[in-house]
Amino acid sequence: MNALTPISVSRRADFPGVGDWAYLDSAATAQKPQVVIDAIAAAYGPEYATVHRGVYARSATMTERFEAARSTAARFINAASPNEIVFVRGATEAINLVAQTWGAANLKAGDRILLSRLEHHSNIVPWQLLRDRTGIEIDVAPLTADHRIDEDALEAMLTPAHRLVAVAHVSNVLGSVADIARIARAAHGVGAKLLVDGCQAVPRMGVDVQALGADFYAFSGHKLYGPTGIGVLWTRGDILSAMPPWQGGGSMIETVTFEKTTYAPAPTRFEAGTPHIVGAVGLAAAMDYVSAIGLDTIDAHERHLAGLARAELRKVNSLRLFGPDDSSGIVSFAMEGVHPHDIGTILDEEGVAIRAGHHCAQPLMETLGVPATARASFGVYSDERDVERLLRGIARVKRIFG
């Protein structure tokens, strides 16, 4: 089990929800460190007030904290300005926002969008909804033999008719990492914009949106050790400032009459109503937490555990692994004659939590030739003991199903 050099980074003691549980479902949602829980409790307790409206001291203080969270998010992904950061409910809402604002304003019948075979439903369905409204067309780039986006094929598929490329930075099923800078150059070479689903990337690797060359970058807070119901849409400033609003209400306006409304500048224009104040505060605490550990350290730690799990699981003759050998903290597999739900149930009896199903990636399952997979995904609280318990659980699955 120690054939690979261990990376001593596990922060299990920081997470009250983990204890001795082998929690291997971090790609679905991450457990929360105590510092995030404390930040949320304080923000809902003695610090709580509304933002952007109150003239009293606590409201002004909370407004400062909320906007400081925006600045933290900007630093976290190296945005050029905090004004490029829009707080949303999560990556799903972020992608829908782009589809319904930028997409509706800029795409027309005959235009094309290019996706990949490994996309999450949240990076497929919004574009289908837009297609049904506007008559645009959707193309899909294939995967390589080791289950990465085939970037050679993607480049070859691009034409001047393509107005947008939308891909995952890290696959939520396969753990494969896309070369976003290369894809950005290819997209821009034909005049297309690039949207990146960064949900699985930001918890485990440093992201520099300026260096990547993307135009839109979306991620959720709850996979980043932060609260649910909060996420970030980053959009390059010149694009964001030209996008129309998508929801109407308080905060996103300058003036309102029954005859006409004028809208606030970005990002306020896209944050109608009272925002998820406490969510933003908790997300900032989570970003500070992982930044203090170091994203490179987290990436090395999770790759070590994923590599260790893959090496051991490969020894099980009836088991099929998916994704590349250097997968980023995610290992998906299927066992001959055993449904992934049965694997998950038996592992749960052993105190091991994995994900079993299609992982909101049904087109990918079709490509892999399976209805579902079992998925183990690691976090900063994971360690080699979790891998050992996973393997013991898989051995029990084999004994039960012969």
C-alpha span between 141 and 339 (Å, rounded): 29
Amino acid at the residue 12: R
Can 360 be counted among the known catalytic residues? yes
Structure tokens at 387: 């891998």
Q: Measuring CA to CA, which residue among 286, 294, 381 is closest to residue 35?
A: 286
CA 109 – CA 252 distance, rounded (Å): 30
Distance of CA 361 to the CA centre of its chain: 14
128: helix, coil or strand? helix
CA dist list (Å): 352 to 23, 24, 175 = 6, 7, 20
Cis omega (within 30 of 0) on the bond before 267?
yes
Cβ atoms of residues 4 and 307 within 8 Å: yes
* β pairing state of 162-168 and 319-322: unpaired
268-271 own/partner pairs: CB under 8 Å, 24+ apart: 269/245, 270/86, 270/88, 270/97, 270/101, 270/233, 270/243, 270/245, 270/246, 271/86, 271/87
Q: From CA 100, how far away is CA 106, in angstroms rounded? A: 10
Q: What token pair was written down for 248? A: 């109407």
The DSSP string of 303-314 is HHHHHHHHHHHT
Rg (CA), the chain: 22
- The alpha-helical segments, DSSP class H, found in 235-382 are 237-242, 277-293, 295-313, 340-349, 362-368
- 25-48 in b/e burial notation, b at 16+ Cβ within 10 A? bbbbebbbbebbbebbeebeeebe
Please tell me which residue in 68, 190, 360, 370 is annotated as part of the active site.
Answer: 360
How far apart CA 214 and CA 235 sit, in angstroms, is 8
Q: Which two tokens stand for residue 196?
A: 């990146």
Which are the catalytic amino acids? Answer: 360
